[in-house]
Every structure is written in structure tokens, then in C-alpha cells.
């Protein structure tokens, strides 16, 4: 009888040890759909107001990468790790702000106490595929994708137009994004009507090596 009990305990211990040793940790990077908008120190964008001719500029101050631990998916599951990148910008008229690249999103503003970004200004793709026209995630609505768009005499291709609804870190506006360049046009809205426009006239870009 004692031998049977001992063998049962030994089998249980081996089984438990095996489960512990097989716990795996998955590491998640920023989604490739957003990395074309991730630029390094030395990158800058210069915009001109189409009405007044005034100049506004923005530049990358710093880029940092952080790890966030995710809750296990279930019993016996390892703790997954998700990486996100935080970019700090400084500018003239625009002022300073941060953007966080996380999963397939680009959030504007810092993380709140629950580890979630405050506001979003772009998302690379909707869950499970390419963003659908009219789809909204957080405060960004995909309104259109243009094959070409002329901005201040320069023709850009595959331009995404996002309608950004006002939050703590951004006013009501339309932002026009181009991969590997960023925002090429900004339309500021008052009562859903364009009040003023800023066009990209010059830039210097250094792609951040990721991952």
C-alpha cells in the first residue's frame, strides 16, 4: 500500500514539474503596419499654413522601447510580453507631444494609470485586416484612401485620410498619412468645416530600425 502511495506522489510531482517547465513566454512586437511611421532622432517635418503662409515644424526628440507584461491567457499559461515604442516630439507652433506605437495602433498622449494610451491619432490596420472605410477605433475614423493627392505641389500616393475627433491631446481635424513619410496634410475643423490647412513643404526622415 505504501509503495502504491509513493508511486502516485512521484507521478504527481513529475507531472507538476513538467507543466512548470513547459510554460512558454511569447514576445509581441509592434505591428509592421505602423512601423513605416516610426522615425528616429534627426527626423523633422515643416508645414505651411495655406492661408497665412506661417510655418510650423515638428521634430523627433527621442525614441524609447519598453516591455509590458500581459496577463496569462489561462491556467498553466506563461506571462506574455508586449513591446511598445514611445516617441517624443517637440515643435514650434505645434508644441511637444508623445506618440506610442503599440500593436497596430499609434496613440497620442501618455499612458494612463491602467497602462492604456489616452488618445489615438492613427491605426495601421483594423483587427483582422485592412482598415475599412468608415471604421472607427477610439477617436480615429478612416474616411478615405486616395490613390494620389497633391499637397503644396507634390504628388503623394496611397494617402490615408483620417477624421480625428477631439480628445485631450488633439483637436478636431483631418490628418492625411503617407507611409514612410507621416502626415502630409492637416485640416483643422470648426463645426465639421475646414477652418485652416497646413501642408507639408519640407522634411528630413530617418527610419527607426525596428525590430
Domains of the chain: 25-204 (2.40.360)
Q: What percent of the chain has pLDDT over 70?
A: 80
Q: What is the mean pLDDT of residues 163-187?
A: 92
Helices and strands (H and E) in the chain: how many: 1, 13
Q: Give per-residue pLDDT as tens, 100-147.
A: 998 888 988 776 766 666 777 787 776 666 778 888 888 889 999 999
CA distance 86 to 93: 22
**105 prior amide bond cis, ω within 30:** no
pLDDT of residue 8: 44
DSSP percent split of the chain into helix, strand, coil, nearest 5: 10, 50, 40
> 175 forms bridges with which residues in the sheet?
162, 186
Residues composing the chain: 211
pLDDT of residue 167: 81
Termini Cα distance of the chain: 58
Q: In a 3-state reduction of DSSP, which class is residue 6? A: helix
- pTM to 2 decimal places: 0.82
CA distance 181 to 99: 15
In sequence order, which residues have a C-beta less than 8 Å from that of residue 86 and are 6 or more positions away?
Answer: 63, 64, 65, 66, 98, 99, 100, 101
Nearest to 189, CA basis, from 197, 177, 181, 199: 197
pLDDT at 10 over 70: no
> 64 forms bridges with which residues in the sheet?
86
Q: Grid coordinates representing 109?
A: 498622449
pLDDT of residue 125: 77
Q: Which region among 96-105, 154-163, 179-188 has the lowest average model confidence (pLDDT)?
A: 96-105
Q: Give per-residue pLDDT as tens, 21-45.
A: 556 778 889 999 899 999 999 999 9
Amino acid at each position: 500500500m505504501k509503495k502504491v502511495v509513493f508511486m502516485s506522489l512521484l507521478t504527481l510531482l513529475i507531472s507538476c514539474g513538467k507543466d512548470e517547465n513547459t510554460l512558454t513566454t511569447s514576445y509581441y512586437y509592434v505591428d509592421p503596419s505602423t512601423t513605416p511611421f516610426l522615425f528616429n532622432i534627426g527626423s523633422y517635418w515643416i508645414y505651411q499654413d495655406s492661408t497665412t503662409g506661417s510655418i510650423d515644424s515638428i521634430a523627433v526628440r527621442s525614441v524609447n522601447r519598453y516591455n509590458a507584461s500581459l496577463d496569462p491567457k489561462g491556467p498553466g499559461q506563461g506571462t506574455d510580453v508586449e513591446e511598445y515604442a514611445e516617441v517624443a516630439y517637440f515643435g514650434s507652433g505645434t508644441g511637444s507631444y508623445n506618440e506610442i506605437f503599440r500593436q497596430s495602433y499609434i496613440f497620442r498622449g501618455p499612458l494612463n494609470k491602467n497602462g492604456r494610451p489616452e488618445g489615438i491619432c492613427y491605426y495601421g490596420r483594423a483587427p483582422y485586416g485592412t482598415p475599412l472605410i468608415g471604421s472607427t477605433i477610439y477617436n480615429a475614423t478612416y474616411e478615405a484612401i486616395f490613390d494620389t493627392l497633391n499637397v503644396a505641389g507634390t504628388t503623394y500616393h496611397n494617402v490615408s485620410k483620417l477624421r480625428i475627433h477631439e480628445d485631450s491631446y488633439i483637436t478636431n481635424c483631418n490628418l492625411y498619412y503617407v507611409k514612410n513619410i507621416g502626415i502630409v496634410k492637416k485640416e483643422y475643423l470648426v463645426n465639421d468645416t475646414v477652418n485652416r490647412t497646413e501642408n507639408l513643404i519640407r522634411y528630413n526622415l530617418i527610419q527607426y530600425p525596428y525590430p
